[in-house]
């Protein structure tokens, strides 16, 4: 297989990002578990960590863990493409410490709000999903540009420009660019929400999708011996659809800020197309891999995370998203537990599973110089986390349907409806416990991955 000819990177900076991403992912699950528990016991830790702070930490740690994973995966794969080296290992290490240090300062600011009981614009701007203070916004953009420059130089000097690396760099440029649209306040609320969605939706479903497509392509080349030229075609297909799914797909949010109703139809249809190229690319790689009837790549666990990722991405962003963004449904479902179900499974499939696949691909190569390692603990993590997410999604979906009927159609007050959803919140909490157990096993592997045990006589 051609992946055996790919040099194991001498650069170790990717591992720093992977460890940081795993730690933040674990924190995200812990605060998410607390948030789920507060739906059942509203006064739980209310004086220490009220729900609004817990939710803010849960969402922001998700974003941070994924950004760290993207950076680690990009540094590792670009170093492999470049014969094992980056343009500047020192700059990459500075990149890591600036990123990790800045994130730590922002989190301490959030917690300071809880301790002091006072809100300050120096600690948080309070804008939902992008609560970071303004100084942190500029720091995020600066770190993203610093990262982009090192990757651009690494591709130019070592890895070489090709269709996949070119699209990866374009995606990284968009990562910094689209975040800028959330950094200005507008007196007109509709206009402010319009550009706010450019970050909340277009940043995630535009720039991130380009990065994810390129990383998927590079992983498929290594783990499935997928022809590079075929992978490039799917990356271009994804890039083309992002122009519609990323930009036009925001339309199912525009309707709620006063735009014409046709945006619900446009946004709902194009949003559903977004995960299709990645699913087709992985299915094509599987088809070619099986038709070849050769020796299967030994890293079956990383392959499983990739396959599971595109399936759940398609289910969460495609099926779940499309079902509730159609105009006839969205007027009822918007802002209910159906939205939470869609968000959880879509993010887990689209990005979290990709990051974990990158980590399970990279760590054995970094630590053991090859692709063989003890995968038993990782498989337990895979099934616990994925089963937990499936249970959470089903529970929130049913809760959302009940909520729509009782609250939106029959007009029963919100608080009263919540009292009928307890059994579904219990099931969601059980799913969160399963995911937390899985992340604990995954985190153990990140710090103490075990080498494969050789049988006697081998």
Distance CA 326, CA 400 (A): 16
Q: Could you tell me if 33 and 432 are in contact, meaning their C-beta atoms sit under 8 angstroms apart?
A: yes
Structural domain contains residue 356:
no
Q: For the chain, how big is the Rg over CA atoms in Å?
A: 22
For 110, residues 6+ apart whose C-beta sits below 8 A from its C-beta are 53, 56, 57, 60, 123, 124, 131
Structural domain contains residue 227:
no
Distance CA 213, CA 171 (A): 9
Tokens representing 42 are: 């509203």
Residue 2: per-residue pLDDT: 44
Distance CA 5, CA 392 (A): 41
Which residue in this structure is represented by tokens 């998700």?
62
Which residue in this structure is represented by tokens 């009782």?
406
For 264, residues 6+ apart whose C-beta sits below 8 A from its C-beta are 251, 252, 255, 325, 326, 327, 330, 331
Distance CA 418, CA 42 (A): 11
Residue 404: per-residue pLDDT: 95
Structural domain contains residue 56:
yes
Distance CA 257, CA 197 (A): 11
pLDDT in single tens digits along all 458 residues of the chain: 344 457 777 788 999 999 999 999 999 999 999 999 999 999 999 888 889 889 988 998 999 999 999 999 999 999 999 888 898 999 999 999 999 999 988 888 888 887 887 888 888 887 888 888 889 889 989 999 999 999 999 999 988 899 999 999 999 999 989 888 888 888 888 888 888 888 888 888 788 988 999 999 999 999 999 999 999 999 998 888 776 666 777 777 777 777 777 777 777 777 767 778 888 899 999 888 888 766 678 999 999 999 999 999 999 888 888 788 777 787 788 889 999 999 999 999 999 999 999 999 999 999 998 899 999 999 999 999 999 999 999 999 999 999 999 999 999 999 999 999 999 999 999 999 999 999 999 999 999 999 987 654 44
**Domain count of the chain?**
1
Residue 164: per-residue pLDDT: 95
Could you list the residue range(s) of the whole structural domain that residue 106 is in? 1-115
Residue 22: per-residue pLDDT: 96
What long-range pairs does 1-6 form, CB within 8 A, spacing at least 24?
Answer: 1/225, 1/294, 1/295, 1/297, 2/221, 2/225, 3/221, 3/222, 3/223, 3/225, 3/297, 3/371, 6/80, 6/81, 6/222
pTM: 0.93
Residue 3: per-residue pLDDT: 43
Q: What angle do CA 202, 306, 156 make, to 5 degrees?
A: 65
Structural domain contains residue 178:
no
Residue 4: per-residue pLDDT: 44
Structural domain contains residue 247:
no
Structural domain contains residue 432:
no
- What single string gives the DSSP state of each residue in 157-213? III---HHHHHHHHHHHHHHHGGGGGS---SSHHHHHHHHHIIIIIIIIIIHHHHHH
Cα distance between the two ends of the chain: 22
Distance CA 151, CA 147 (A): 6
Residue 20: per-residue pLDDT: 96
Structural domain contains residue 96:
yes
Which residue in this structure is represented by tokens 């063989």?
372
Residue (of 289, 231, 237, 243) closest to 270 by Cα position: 243
Q: What are phi and psi of 41, to 5 degrees?
A: -120, 85
Structural domain contains residue 321:
no
CA dihedral 435, 441, 443, 445 (to 10 degrees): -150
Residue (of 362, 432, 366, 424) closest to 395 by Cα position: 424
C-beta neighbour count of 5 within 10 angstroms: 6
């Amino acid at each position: 297989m051609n992946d055996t000819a790919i040099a194991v990177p001498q650069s170790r900076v990717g591992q720093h990002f992977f460890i940081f991403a795993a730690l933040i992912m674990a924190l995200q699950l812990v605060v998410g578990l607390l948030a789920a528990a507060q739906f059942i016991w509203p006064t739980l830790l209310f004086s220490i960590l009220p729900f609004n702070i817990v939710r803010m930490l849960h969402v922001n740690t998700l974003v941070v863990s994924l950004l760290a994973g993207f950076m680690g995966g990009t540094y590792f794969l670009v170093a492999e493409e470049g014969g094992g080296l980056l343009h500047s290992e020192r700059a990459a290490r500075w990149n890591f410490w600036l990123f990790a240090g800045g994130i730590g300062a922002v989190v301490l600011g959030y917690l300071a709000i809880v301790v002091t009981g006072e809100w300050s614009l120096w600690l948080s701007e309070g804008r939902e999903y992008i609560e970071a203070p303004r100084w942190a916004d500029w720091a995020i953009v600066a770190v993203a540009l610093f990262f982009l420059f090192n990757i651009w130089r690494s591709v130019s000097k070592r890895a070489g420009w090709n269709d996949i690396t070119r699209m990866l760099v374009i995606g990284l440029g968009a990562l910094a660019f689209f975040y800028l649209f959330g950094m200005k306040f507008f007196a007109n609320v509709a206009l402010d929400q319009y550009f706010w969605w450019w970050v909340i939706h277009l940043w995630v479903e535009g720039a991130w999708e380009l990065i994810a497509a390129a990383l998927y392509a590079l992983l498929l080349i290594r783990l499935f011996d997928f022809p590079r030229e075929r992978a490039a075609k799917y990356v271009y297909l994804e890039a083309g659809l992002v122009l519609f799914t990323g930009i036009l797909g925001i339309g199912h949010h525009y309707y709620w800020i006063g735009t014409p109703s046709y945006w619900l139809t446009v946004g709902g249809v194009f949003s559903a197309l977004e995960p299709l190229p990645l699913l087709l690319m992985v299915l094509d790689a599987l088809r070619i891999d099986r038709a070849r009837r050769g020796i299967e790549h030994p890293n079956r666990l990383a392959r499983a995370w990739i396959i599971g990722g595109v399936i759940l991405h398609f289910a969460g962003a495609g099926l779940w998203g499309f079902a509730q963004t159609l105009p006839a449904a969205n007027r009822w479902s918007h802002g209910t537990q159906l939205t939470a179900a869609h968000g959880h499974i879509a993010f887990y499939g689209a990005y979290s599973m990709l990051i974990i696949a990158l980590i399970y691909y990279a760590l054995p190569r970094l630590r053991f110089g090859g692709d063989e390692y003890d995968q038993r603990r990782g498989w337990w993590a895979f099934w616990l986390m994925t089963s937990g997410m499936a249970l959470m999604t089903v529970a929130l979906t049913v809760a959302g349907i009940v909520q729509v009927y009782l609250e939106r159609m029959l007009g029963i007050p919100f608080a009263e409806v919540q009292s009928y959803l307890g059994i579904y919140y219990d099931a969601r909490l059980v799913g969160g416990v399963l995911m937390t157990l899985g992340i604990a096993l995954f985190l153990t592997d990140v710090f103490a991955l075990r080498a494969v045990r050789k049988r006697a006589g081998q």
